[in-house]
Chains A and B, each alone.
Chain A
């Protein structure tokens, strides 16, 4: 059974870079038709998609964060990483990594929902 565990500093200073890691256990980050995804949730608010990296290496990011976000995979460590530059207090949130299965289906494409989530890690950026 695949499990995800986020880790990283809980406090990041304004204007610095937030760096988080998601360790994948019970499976390989480089196998299968998976979208390895980062999501965040500001205190008391809803879920916000940050971006994903597909098993092919393709990435896509939320347009509102695109200029500041990088998602990558370290296959040797079986880890997913998130880097968010120039952080402000608005980036204070719980950060989750998750896995969604998706791929070709007939003549189209299909998705199966994010069925595996990490427990989340809290990041605070003081104002």
Chain B
């Protein structure tokens, strides 16, 4: 079965750029979605189809996808960006989530 691999944690200094990766075999050929989940809240879609931002999501959030790694980039990181981030893809009509990455803003 298809697997997505995310780092358990990523730290970033306040105001700097954070990158959260999602590894998968030939993930560059798939549509990758990213979700942000703050403590006690439901996940929120922040990037869909690899690069698109839903309305209301700040431009500081961007995505890219190439070969075996998809990346969520958060520019000018803020304390309010601290959360768990999950990548998600479809594989043969099944939904696959990555294990999640905890983002800490220092």
Contact = CB atoms under 8 A, between A and B. Distances in A.
In the A-B complex, the 10 residue pairs with the smallest Cβ-Cβ separation, listed nearest first, are A113-B48, A113-B33, A49-B95, A46-B100, A117-B42, A47-B97, A113-B45, A115-B45, A46-B99, A112-B48
A75 interface: no
Contact of A60 (B31, B37, B54, B93): B93
A37 B37 CA distance: 17
B32 to A, nearest CB: 9
A112 B43 contact: no
A102 B49 CA distance: 11
Interface residues of A, number: 22
A2 to B, nearest CB: 13
B31 A114 contact: no
29 contacts: A39-B97, A46-B84, A46-B86, A46-B97, A46-B98, A46-B100, A47-B37, A47-B88, A47-B97, A48-B97, A49-B95, A52-B95, A60-B93, A63-B1, A96-B42, A102-B90, A110-B31, A111-B48, A111-B49, A112-B48, A112-B49, A113-B33, A113-B49, A113-B54, A114-B35, A114-B45, A114-B88, A115-B45, A115-B54
Chain B at the A interface: mostly helix, strand, loop or mixed?
Answer: strand
Interface residues of B, number: 25
Contact of B95 (A37, A112, A117, A118): A37
B96 interface: yes
Interface string A58-75: 001011000000000000
Contacts, number: 60
Given A47-B97, A49-B95, A110-B49, A119 B90 contact: no
A58 B45 CA distance: 24
A69 B66 CA distance: 35
Interface of B: 1, 31, 33, 35, 37, 42-45, 47-49, 54, 84, 86, 88, 90, 93-100
Nearest to B90: A111
A113 B54 CA distance: 10
Contacts of A62: 94
